[in-house]
Amino acid sequence: MGGPKAPLSPQESVTAMRWLIDTFGPNQSGKFYNYDGREYPW
């Protein structure tokens, strides 16, 4: 989705998403997060 200027490769993106899924719990439900775990304001 970022083309040649994307900050991550697809492999890096999936690795980051899997880390978030494994790390986060119910308290993070209903929120939006960047690939590095930073929360986006809602």
User: pLDDT tens digits, residue range 2-42?
Assistant: 788 888 888 999 999 999 999 999 999 999 999 899 999 87
Give the pLDDT confidence score for residue 20 in this predicted structure: 92
Residue with tokens 């439900």, as numbered in its chain: 29
Q: Please choose, from the candidates 1, 40, 34, the residue with its C-alpha nearest in 3D space to the C-alpha of residue 17.
A: 34
Which of the four pLDDT bands, split at 50, 70 and 90, describes residue 1?
low
Query: 32: part of which helix (H) or strand (E)?
Result: strand 32-33
Kindly list the distances between the CA atom of residue 12 and the CA atoms of 18, 31, 37, 41, in Å, as whole numbers in the listed order.
10, 22, 14, 24
Question: What is the pTM (predicted TM-score) of this model?
Answer: 0.68
